[in-house]
Structure 1
């Protein structure tokens, strides 16, 4: 697995009525953010952009960039409704998705 790939993709709906888009890694998140309308680039956008840029430069962990991008998507209202996956954290601090029965 590419070290900049997200363990769990971030699912977004860029515009109402559009299909869900899955963002699989830091590079895709950065492309998505670069295409975000300039009039909507507030502090949450800037935080996500900076985290993803930092991850590309090796300064920030890809998982932290994913969290920042997912928070951006949630706060801006584009996070897909089905994106609220149930997760667990193992003893090593890794985030793991739970099976659908939970």
Structure 2
């Protein structure tokens, strides 16, 4: 398995009538984040972007980047309902701790 692949994909639901998108790697998360509208880029966006960048450069694991990206998707209400609850001990506190 590629070191930048997520163990569990992040399911993005852009809205009613749109297909659910699965983001299953750091590279795919970066593509998604780079397309995000500039006017909606806040601190949670920046955290996710920084974590994905760190994972790409080998300074963070793909799973840590996944947690940050999942937090971004949750806060922007893009996270698919099936993923709305934390998994495997994941919590929002862990996502925000990555920003420090």
Structure 1 portions without partners, runs of 5+: 90-102
Secondary structure of the 1:60 match is coil
Aligned residues: 89
Structure 2 portions without partners, runs of 5+: 90-100
More helix by share: 2
Question: Structure 1 residues 15 and 87, CA, compared in 2 at 3 Å: closer, same or farther?
Answer: closer
- Runs of 4+ deviating beyond 3 Å: 84-89
Give the 5 Å matches for 1:1-102.
Answer: 1-84=1-84, 87-88=87-88
Query: TM-score by structure 2 length?
Result: 0.82
More strand by share: 1
Query: TM-score by structure 1 length?
Result: 0.81
Higher CA-based Rg: 1
Give the RMSD, CA atoms, in angstroms.
Answer: 1.5
